[in-house]
Amino acid sequence: MPGKAGIHTWLMLHDDKVDFGLRRHDGRGERMLNLSVVLLLILSLLSFRKEASAAAAPGKKLVIAYAAMNARVCPLWAPKERGLFTKYGFDAEPLFVRGAPTLVSAMASNEIEVGYTGGTAVIGAVASGSDLKVLSALTNRVTYEVVARPNIKTAEDLRGKKFGVQAIGGTVWMGAILALEHLGLDPDRDKIAIIAAGDQSVLAQAVAQGTVDATVLDGVQARPLAAKGLNILADLGKLNLPILSSSIVARDPYIQKNPQMVENVIKSVIEGAAFCLSAKEKPNTLKILQKYLRVSEKDAEEGYRDMVSGLDRRPYANPAGATNVIRLMKRSNPKVENVKPENLIDDRIMKRLDQSGFIDEVLNRYGVK
């Protein structure tokens, strides 16, 4: 049986998938879990624990967790769909986790060895003593669009309103703070309530239904709303605002103990990105986006366009992005000022792969400029 922390992490990862049967749906109060449900829950917990903790052992499946549901996760989905993990000598399963803070919490308790996530939650964890390192970043700038209700036509109209994000302290939250800063607004001064609502699909629903007044969304979610009369107040992708996003992260002890595994993960994601960016592989990439994002072909095309403009061809983590995150986070968490980008980012593997010609070879093979 997993320990207390293991159970807690599993429940956080799967809170949208498990009905514990603790309450009757007819409102008549609580009921006891029956024996079969208990056994199923225990078996599920044991299965997840075994899968997540066995990553370092040869022949075992590595769990690579990600916390965003957008087209820029394609470099992680493509290796799964195209057999690239196997090509580089390991088996891996991408696992969606609801929110970057939850993901880094699971990494801290060794439930997950490798993450594909934004730098905001990572920096917050490092400020609290975590030994997480950023090894690579597929996106180093904000790419969201600011979407607002039809009655909100200018930045000034956002004063006193509700602004939706995925999770406080996550990458979407940071995008929202940078968006408000660009628009000349400050959440405290202008009494803008930051509301943790959910992932991109949930945020799109929330702003469409008026649960929140504005949010930041990827183009695949933003443009259909614009067609329905909602307003796009800013396209942040055109502003080149530095941020640390779509990063490959791992704890330093794991990196030191498993250098070849970590290098192979980075290789597979680099080739996955080249595949997703390849014009000749576009039909296959659109199928991958449709499968994981659960969108139509038309919406997948929108996501593809965002992905092509948002992914870096040489995925080094940009220290300027980390500096920007630290600058804004220290307003509410002074401890992050002690986090130094040069200590947070470990780009030795990236440099070795670049200098060896690996990145050029992969990009050329897929015809990516």
> Helix axis angle, 348-355 relative to 358-365, nearest 10°?
60
Higher pLDDT, 11 or 130: 130
- Percentage with pLDDT > 70 across the chain: 84
pLDDT in tens, 50-89: 444 444 444 568 999 999 889 999 999 999 999 999 999 9
Tell me how far apart the terminal alpha carbons of the chain are, to the nearest angstrom.
50
Where do the DSSP E strands lie in 22-86? 61-66
Same fold, 63-141+242-365 and 145-238: yes
Residue 33 has pLDDT above 80, yes or no: no
Determine the pLDDT at residue 59. Answer: 54
Higher pLDDT, 132 or 39: 132
Please name which of 132, 109, 339 lies closest in space to residue 251, comparing C-alpha atoms. 132
Higher pLDDT, 47 or 83: 83
pLDDT in tens, 244-268: 999 999 999 999 999 999 999 999 9
Higher pLDDT, 19 or 201: 201
In this prediction, residue 40 has a pLDDT band, given cuts at 50, 70 and 90, of: very low
Which residues have a Cβ under 8 Å from the Cβ of 221 and sit 6 or more positions away?
147, 200, 201, 203, 204
145-238 placed in CATH 3.40.190.10: yes
Phi, psi angles (nearest 5°) of residue 229: 105, 0
Residue 21 has pLDDT above 80, yes or no: no
Determine the pLDDT at residue 7. Answer: 39
63-141+242-365 placed in CATH 3.40.190.10: yes
pLDDT in tens, 279-297: 999 999 999 999 999 989 9
Determine the pLDDT at residue 5. Answer: 42
pLDDT in tens, 144-196: 999 999 999 999 999 999 999 988 877 888 899 999 999 999 999 999 999 99
Cα 259–Cα 83–Cα 171 angle in degrees, nearest 5: 65
Pairing of strands 242-251, 114-117: antiparallel
Determine the pLDDT at residue 276. Answer: 99
pLDDT in tens, 185-213: 999 999 999 999 998 899 999 999 999 99
In this prediction, residue 219 has a pLDDT band, given cuts at 50, 70 and 90, of: confident
pTM, to two decimals:
0.78
Residue ranges covered by each domain of the chain: 4-49, 63-141+242-365, 145-238
Determine the pLDDT at residue 169. Answer: 75
In this prediction, residue 328 has a pLDDT band, given cuts at 50, 70 and 90, of: confident
Higher pLDDT, 125 or 56: 125
Q: Average pLDDT, whole number, for the chain?
A: 86
